[in-house]
Structure 1
Amino acid sequence: MDELDFLKKDWKRQEADLPKVSVDTIYKMIHKRSSSLMKWILYVSIFEFVLWTILNITTVNAETLETLRQIHLYEFEIVGIVLQYAVLGIFIYLFYKNYREVQTTDNTKHLMSRILKVRRTVNFYVAYNLIIFFIIGMVVFIAMLNFDPKFNDVMIQAEDGTQSMPLGFIAVFIVMLLVLVALLWAFYKLLYGILLRRLKRNYKELSKLEMRD
């Protein structure tokens, strides 16, 4: 084999190796970007923990606690607050665990699997909070109807002496509650939406790399 043939063979070998180098480089960039996004999801969850703590401190006082006692929801409020912090603490741990596992991942499939898991965890967390918020709102409304004397003025009294709440009043409350749920959803969309969309983009890029391999 003369020198020219040797150079051609070596060039073809290097050319064949170029896509492999390129894939590895792209993977490292996506890995770094995904790890950063998961870190920010962790930071956002900690921010939310601090935010809810501030809201609870500033809104819960002697007057609100007395109102809760009057409508027989004092224990319900305590349990709800404890549950709220417990659930948020669990999700913060899960976000931290996913972040740590992604940092040590060096496999495309594992990284794709972790991205999907993070997205599912965040979506489940948001759905859980929205459902719980609506349920708590309905429980408080029903308790106030039954025990808060302020609602006596809006009650309709039938000929047999029974009282009932106007359907229009109930409908207005449910609509207002749904509006609050929508605002809470928008809040979560702002907090987590951008990060999840970028993770989804990373997943699609990893899928393309997996197909090339």
Structure 2
Amino acid sequence: MDELEFLKEDWKRQEADLPKVSIDSLYRMIHKRSSSIMKWILYISIIEFLFWTVLNAFTINTKSLNSLKELHLYEFEIVATIIHYCLLIYFIYIFYKNYKEVQTTENTSVLMKRILKVRKTVNYYVIYNLVMAFVIGMIVFIASAMYSPKIQKLYIVGEDGSTTLPLSFIISFLAMFLFMIGIFWLFYKLLYGILLRRLHRNYKELNKLELRN
């Protein structure tokens, strides 16, 4: 083989290697980005956990405890708090586990599955927090309506002796309560939604790499 033919063969070999190098580089870049996003999801969940813990610590006092006892919610508050914190710690553990697993992932299809798993876990986490806030809010409202002396004064006594809360009060409470739930939803949508959208972009790019392979 003369020198020209040798150079042609060498050039063809290099050309054949270029797509592989490009795909490997893209995978490493997407892998790094995905790992970083999952790290931020973990950090944000820990910060959120610490924020609510500190807030609860500062708001618990003799007056708040007496209010809970007055509403017959003291034992419920203890049980609900324990369950809530156990579930939050569980979610944080899952976020940590997903982050560590992604760091050692070296396969495109496996990384895609990890991304889908993380997105699903974050969605479950957001749904849990919103449902928890809604349920506790409704329980507190019902208990307040039944036992709070201040709300008892608002009851309207019917001709038959029955008592009911004014419809305007119920509507006002529900409107304010749903507004607060909406604020929470917006908070989670902005906080985790941005990260999830970036993960989804990474997933689509990984899918393109899979098709190219």
CA distance in 2, matches of 1:45, 1:152: 39
Q: What TM-score, normalized to structure 1?
A: 0.97
What does 1:112-127 correspond to in 2, within 5 Å?
112-127=112-127
Amino acid at match of 1:16: A
Query: Kindly, what percent of the aligned residue pairs are identical?
Result: 63
1:178 counterpart = 2:178: yes
CA RMSD of superposed structures (Å): 1.0
Is the CA contact (8 Å cut-off) linking 2:146 and 2:152 kept in structure 1? no
Amino acid at match of 2:76: F
Which residue pairs with 1:142 in the alignment? 142
- Which ranges of 4 or more aligned residues in structure 1 deviate by more than 3 Å? none
Which residue pairs with 1:188 in the alignment? 188
Which residue pairs with 1:166 in the alignment? 166
Amino acid at match of 1:130: L
Which residue pairs with 1:42 in the alignment? 42
CA distance in 1, matches of 2:120, 2:179: 25
Q: CA shift at 1:60, angstroms?
A: 1.5
Paired positions, count? 213
Which residue pairs with 2:15 in the alignment? 15
Which residue pairs with 1:82 in the alignment? 82
Which residue pairs with 2:4 in the alignment? 4
**Which has the larger displacement, 169-178 or 95-104?**
169-178
CA distance in 2, matches of 1:197, 1:58: 35
Which residue pairs with 2:64 in the alignment? 64
Unaligned runs of 5+ in 1: none
CA distance in 2, matches of 1:211, 1:171: 54
SS at match of 1:93: helix
Amino acid at match of 2:206: L
Q: CA shift at 1:153, angstroms?
A: 2.3
Amino acid at match of 2:55: L
Deviations 1:148-171 (A, max 9, x none): 111122211110101011222112
1:152 counterpart = 2:152: yes
Amino acid at match of 1:8: K
**Which has the larger displacement, 8-17 or 157-166?**
8-17
